[in-house]
Amino acid sequence: MKKGLICLALMLSSMVLTSMAQARDTQYFLPIQDVLAMPEAKKKLDPNIHFVFGDSAVAGNVVQEHGPVVTYRKTNALNKTDEEACRWVMLSALLTIQERAKTEGANAVINITSYYDEIARPSATEYECRAGALIAGVSLKGEVVTLE
| Residue pLDDT, tens place only, 44-54 | 999 999 999 99
Given this model, what pLDDT does residue 11 score?
52
Are the C-beta atoms of residues 108 and 147 closer than 8 Å to each other?
yes
| pLDDT class of 55 with cuts at 50, 70, 90 | confident
What pLDDT sits at residue 19?
43
Under 8 Å between Cβ of 56 and 142: no
Closest CA to 130 of 56, 25, 32, 54: 25
Q: What is the pLDDT of residue 63?
A: 97
**pLDDT at residue 13 tops 50:** no
Q: According to the model, what pLDDT value does residue 56 have? A: 86
Task: Tell me the average pLDDT across 58-87.
Answer: 95
pLDDT of residue 12: 45
23-147: what fold? Translation Initiation Factor IF3 (3.30.110)
Which pLDDT score, from 0 to 100, does residue 44 have? 98
CB of 50 closer than 8 Å to CB of 36 = no
| CB-based contact 54:60 (threshold 8 Å) | no
Question: Please, what is the average pLDDT of the chain?
Answer: 89
Every domain of the chain and the residues it spans = 23-147
User: pLDDT tens, 87-102?
Assistant: 999 999 999 999 999 9
| Least confident piece of the model among 4-13, 63-72, 94-103, 106-115 | 4-13
